[in-house]
Amino acid sequence: MTPQNPRLGIIIMVFTMLLFALQDGLSRHLAGQYNVFMVIMIRYWIFAAFVIVWSARHAGGLRHAARSAQPKLQFFRGALLALEVIVMVIGFVKLGLVESHAMFAIYPLIITALSGPILGERVGWRRWMSVAIGFVGVMIILMPGSGVFSPAAIFPLGSATMFALYGLLNRYVSRKDPAAVTFFYTGISGAVVMTLIGVWFWEPMRPTDWAWMLTLGASAILGHYLLIRAYELSEASAIQPFAYLQLVFASGVGVVFFGDIIRMNVAIGTGIVVGAGLFALIRAQMVARRENRAGRSNAT
């Protein structure tokens, strides 16, 4: 078992979020030059190659990694993530990194809202209130009726909903499958789905953009590896709040490299959404600790 080192875990998590933000910038650049399906297909080919090598080097090898108690659900979950990436990257191209990430930040609250009907978890009134407040924050970002609302907002909002469902399915499959199996299916099923879609949209790529494509793939491999390491070194509850830094870093990439503008309503709305999401996370941790204490008391 890996020794716990929460401080190092947090440092790795922060660096990982910066890496993911740079990936978003590379994805936006490449999807602006080439078909988005082809770009994500190549990205998944590189990711799948890493997953195969990573799985082969661990106990049981590929056969153990592919042995799932729920293979159809695992495949659907991985395919859903691949389709979510498509929708989000289209949002990057149409709206920019700042506004796309601002609206995508609603996904933890969607997880909270759906955890009851999908996982059977009890959600108290305080967390329902955080969902309502987060929805208000999204409305401030969108400013409906003000003349600045863009129909393209459907892409990051749709992506957030898909990613929330993916997160819930991660929890669900973890009840029967170990993390290594889930990780294997994430890469393989995504690569299969994206190949079936992207191969029909192949187009020649300039040598310089191939270099960017390989950089994107390499950074995705490093990012996923570091994310695994962060969760090995520290409890999820300690490092999960730092995932919001991807929003900050991606906004910086958008402003510096793509000329995105952070409008006042976007900044205010994002602050409300992130605050509501952090409250829901903290509240969920408090409830879990209380239930664990009650369980230990009953056991004694």
Question: What are the domain boundaries of the chain?
Answer: 6-295
The whole-number pLDDT of residue 243 equals: 82
Residue 3 CB neighbours (<10 A): 7
What is the sign, positive or negative, of the torsion defined by CA atoms of 245, 246, 249, 250?
Answer: negative
**pTM across the whole model:** 0.85
Positions in the chain whose pLDDT score sits under 50? 146-148
CA–CA gap between residue 176 and residue 174 (Å, rounded) = 5
The whole-number pLDDT of residue 116 equals: 77
The whole-number pLDDT of residue 147 equals: 44
- Cβ pair 108, 282 in contact under 8 A: no
CA dist 255 to 15, 32, 34, 62, 213, Å? 19, 16, 22, 42, 22
